[in-house]
């Protein structure tokens, strides 16, 4: 149900709705769309995460995380009547000062085409529109350069990203 | 109103309530209490942040940030009938996987007594009780060692904390 409902919300109208801020992006394959609808099919999302080698997570927790994220951005390719989830990003936030990005992913078949950049620009734009000025993330070593090109600074003024592990 | 209401909730009962998880901690000055009540006096909080040299923030936004934080932990010293806000921490979260700490502060007069450590342990305990396993933060260079001693790792597996600034 979730899948079809989600697809309907994204592609069921010929005119982009303001709510979902749909905007087609030129692409050599098909048409690329962005959606901020959080009623996303979590199985399809986990399949996408699987494709980039992330470990599987309990569906119930993924659903809860999406529900409690400040923004959720999904990227879709539409070919005829079929549409496919090809990218995703979400952010937690205090709705006032900061937002932190999580689960930024682009399907391997769609990498290297500028779509990750487009997804991030869409995400930053959404956060700026929500008056968030402090956008942060934790980048794996091999994507630090990708984020740097988008305007992200590693360790600005000596600030260190740190993670807690049980002692 | 907020201040007295908050104080009442923290100290108005002789028995600690489960909701606020009050727990007195031995201290040479007075009794130290922790509260998870988010109905905190934001002016007193900003005074505390002021004492450690942080720049002032719009009260309206501070209130909104507290309201949308996943947990809010305040630390109080009680001397007789008077109580004083001496520490604070809050975390944003997706309520499922991760939490990120913000605004961790201990009043300068109360630093170096193990109270920052106590505040952090209380915060981590709360997050663990909420089944959050991924706890992160962005540490200023001079407090990296403090957090390391509490079990936080800087840049684990090469992961970099990054911040976005407008180009």
- Per residue in A49-82, pLDDT (tens digit) is 999 999 999 999 999 999 999 999 999 999 888 8
**Site from B161, B165, B166, B167 to mutate, A interface, most A CB atoms within 10 angstroms:** B161
pLDDT at B50: 96
Is B17 a residue whose pLDDT tops 90?
no
Instruction: Give the residue numbers of A marked as catalytic.
Output: 147
* CA angle centred on B96, ends A102 and A161, rounded to 5°: 45
Is A48 a residue whose pLDDT tops 90?
yes
CATH class, range B2-153: alpha beta
Average pLDDT of every residue of chain A: 86
**Pick from A97, A124, A167: which is nearest to B164 by CB?**
A124
**B138:A144 CB<8 A:** no
Query: Which residue of chain A has the CA closest to B135?
Result: A164
**Which pLDDT band holds residue A1 (cuts at 50, 70, 90)?**
very low
How close B24 comes to chain A (CA, Å)?
24
* ipTM, 2 dp: 0.83
How close B62 comes to chain A (CA, Å)?
7
Beta strands in chain B (DSSP E): 31-35, 71-79, 82-93, 98-106, 134-139, 152-154, 160-164
Contacts A124 to B, Cβ<8 Å = 164
CATH class, range A2-152: alpha beta
Is B72 a residue whose pLDDT tops 90?
yes
- Average pLDDT on B79-95 reads 95
Nearest C-alpha neighbor of B10 from the set B34, B31, B30, B43: B34
pLDDT at B24: 58
């Amino acid at each position: 149900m979730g899948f079809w409902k989600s697809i309907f919300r994204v592609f069921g109208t010929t005119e982009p709705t303001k709510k979902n801020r749909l905007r087609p992006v030129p692409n050599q394959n098909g048409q690329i769309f962005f959606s901020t609808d959080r009623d996303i099919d979590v199985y399809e999302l986990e399949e996408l995460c699987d494709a980039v080698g992330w470990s599987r997570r309990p569906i119930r927790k993924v659903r809860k995380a999406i529900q409690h994220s400040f923004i959720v951005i999904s990227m879709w390719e539409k070919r005829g009547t079929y549409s496919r989830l090809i990218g995703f990003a979400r952010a937690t936030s205090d709705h006032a000062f900061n937002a932190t990005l999580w689960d930024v992913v682009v399907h391997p078949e769609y990498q290297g085409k500028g779509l990750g950049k487009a997804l991030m620009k869409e995400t930053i734009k959404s956060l700026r529109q929500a008056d968030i000025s402090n956008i942060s993330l934790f980048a794996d070593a091999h994507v630090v350069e990708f984020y740097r090109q988008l305007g992200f600074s590693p360790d600005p003024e000596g600030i260190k990203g740190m993670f807690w592990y049980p002692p």
